[in-house]
Amino acid sequence: MTDPRVCVVTGGAAGLGRAIATRFAAAGRTTVLVDRDKDACDATVAELRANGGEVAGFHVDVSDEDAVIDLAEALREGYGKVDVLVNNAGYATREGSVVEMTRKAWDVTIAVNLTGPFLMARYLVPLMPSGGVILNIGTIGAVHAVPGSDAYIAAKGGLIALSKAMALSLADRGIRVNAVNPGVVVTDEVARHLEHPRLQKMLERSRPIGRDFGTPGEFASVVEFLAGEGATFVNGAVINVDGGALC
């Protein structure tokens, strides 16, 4: 069964973005993956197409304004609209606190995690009809910080605030905007760092339901709901998908 909606997922080649794109494609939506890793993007697109999905991929760094402008034009020419935008692309520096990290690490982290979603919204909102949805992927660390990721937490905290502001500023266009914060969800990237002290700090708070980790599929199902017709009265919300870690 096909779905006429066009869904764009940044950082769609791996991890949570891949899980979200897989959900959208399986539901019959036209799904557009945006990722700066061309090889990974091409591989994910090929896999989803092999499973019957209507899927396309674009090699784009979301912090590059010219590249985002070109993407918006390609989407306008190819589809005429964008119904759902998931700003999932992220970059987490591991350089530590504000006195340990370099200015370059700070700038890159802010550029990808906060400026990128701004640019995607800036140039894709004109393509969105009434009923459109923007979902910004944050982190529970922006609500209850852990030490050692200051730039990332600052950027995601800004993204949560931006989501609330956009929910109001875009309401007259009929566009809903929400933020979704994952807790510890085991993607391939997270699996490589399970013993890191920062991750262990997060795990100490994430056991109310009797297990440490969520899965990408569990997170993607929440995103899928928020993008759908069942969530048309949800706007400006911040949804934590964390197993109760912030209770």
The answer to whether position 201 is within a domain reads no
Euclidean distance between CA atoms 160 and 193, whole angstroms: 25
Provide the number of structural domains found in the chain.
1
Question: How far apart, in whole angstroms, are the C-alpha atoms of residue 232 and residue 119?
Answer: 24
Give the per-residue SS3 of 113-129: HHHHHHHHHHHHHHHCC
> Does a structural domain hold residue 94?
yes
* Residue 74 domain flag: yes
pLDDT mean values, one per 10 residues, the chain (247 residues): 88 96 97 97 98 97 98 98 98 84 94 98 98 96 82 95 98 98 66 58 57 83 97 97 78
Task: Give the residue numbers annotated as catalytic, written as ranges.
Answer: 152
CA distance 166 to 158: 12
Residue 30 domain flag = yes
In a domain, residue 204? The reply is no
Which residue range is the domain that position 179 belongs to?
Answer: 3-184+217-240
Asked whether residue 190 is domain-assigned, the answer is no
Whether 81 is in a domain gets the answer yes
The pLDDT score that the predictor gives to residue 134 is 98
Supply the pLDDT for residue 146: 75
- Say what angle helices 150-169 and 103-110 make with each other, to 10 degrees: 30
CATH number, domain at 96? 3.40.50.720
